[in-house]
Amino acid sequence: MSQLNELEYSALATQTGVSGITLNEQRVKFYDSQTGRNGSNPLQAEISYLQLQTSLTTSNVETLWRTFLLQQGITQQSSLNDMKRYFWINATYSPIQTYVKALSGLVAYYPLDETSGNAINQAPATLGTLDGTVSGATQGVAGQSGLAYSFDGVNDQISRTLISSDVTDVSTFILFKSDDYTKNRQPLWSHGSSTNGYALVLSGDATTDGSLYVLNHAVAWQDTAYNVQDNNWHIIVFNRNAAANNVQILLDGVQIYSANPSLGVPATTTSIGSENIGFFKGKLQHWGFVQQVLTTAQALKLAQLAGLA
């Protein structure tokens, strides 16, 4: 699924006099404030914003849309509904999404920006599959980069059948914001069940100080010796290189851990915000799983696009 590139945005902005045509939370909030609605469809908010800013009627917008398509070499008949579908399919909610979707080896990617329903996988290679089941989490809350999910630390989670049992070169990343880092045993995500696989846990083992722990599901805790003692947004990248028996963790683009912990082979379930030992309390967004080890430069780029570096 392609994204609108910068040239396409510029072309449309030139035609309409509006820059930065994107479907984003600010447009939705603006539309809600003007209409008295709450949580409006981002597409409707976008079209209404476009019309408001340019003082155009629907027919004027449709004419400009057709002109834009002709500039792109698209000559077939196209209507305003086609414009809506184009924006709905192709527009990006945040800069990080475009970058993530272009990552080589991307297996699953959940922006976690839905306002209801399942957590939709948006990895291009597996689109239409691997969607996650949402249990209890509050959807459509403000995040660091677009919308996010809020987890209550009691029983909220996202789960699905295991995404991959691959333990060669793999990477898992997520944006998180803890509401209470002193709460014991808060899994950010988990590959596997209580007897297999591994997880990344905030205030792991018996701690209540924001210590990050790697958990082998055979119940072996590995302390990273790094604490996250704030309630700010962070992005964390977990690299597993099985051939070198190495785990590398980068927080906001900076390496905080590199060691050789014992990790199990995952089976059965992939979970976000939970594991059999506990539940995460706070906000999560942009969870991804890649069948390659992300480089330090890539981890830094993710942090920069999320506004965290």
Per-residue model confidence as pLDDT tens for the chain (309 residues) = 233 333 444 444 444 444 444 444 554 555 555 555 555 555 555 555 555 444 444 455 556 556 655 655 555 555 555 554 444 434 434 678 888 988 999 999 999 988 889 999 989 899 889 999 999 999 988 888 888 999 999 999 999 999 888 778 999 999 999 999 999 999 999 998 878 899 999 999 999 999 999 998 767 899 999 999 999 999 999 999 877 879 999 999 999 999 998 888 898 899 999 998 999 999 999 999 999 999 999 999 999 988 899
Note the CATH number of domain 95-305. 2.60.120.200
Cβ atoms of 159 and 149 within 8 Å: the answer is no
Where in the chain are the domains?
A: 6-90, 95-305
pTM over 0.75: no
Cβ atoms of 173 and 188 within 8 Å: the answer is no
**Which tokens hold the place of 241?**
């290189």
Classify burial at 112, counting beta carbons within 10 Å of its beta carbon; exposed 0-12, middle 13-18, buried 19 or more. Answer: buried
Which residues make Cβ contacts (< 8 Å) with residue 93, sequence separation at least 6? 22, 23, 24, 25, 42, 111, 113, 146, 147
Which residues make Cβ contacts (< 8 Å) with residue 56, sequence separation at least 6? 16, 50, 64
> For residue 297, what are the CA distances in angstroms to 101, 237, 293?
17, 12, 11
**Which tokens hold the place of 278?**
């506990």
Report the distance separating Cα 262 and Cα 248, nearest Å. Answer: 13
Angle, nearest 10°, between helix axes 80-90 and 58-71? Answer: 60
Report the distance separating Cα 164 and Cα 15, nearest Å. Answer: 45
**Which tokens hold the place of 193?**
């069940």
Report the distance separating Cα 148 and Cα 75, nearest Å. Answer: 38
- Length of the chain equals 309
Report the distance separating Cα 250 and Cα 294, nearest Å. Answer: 10
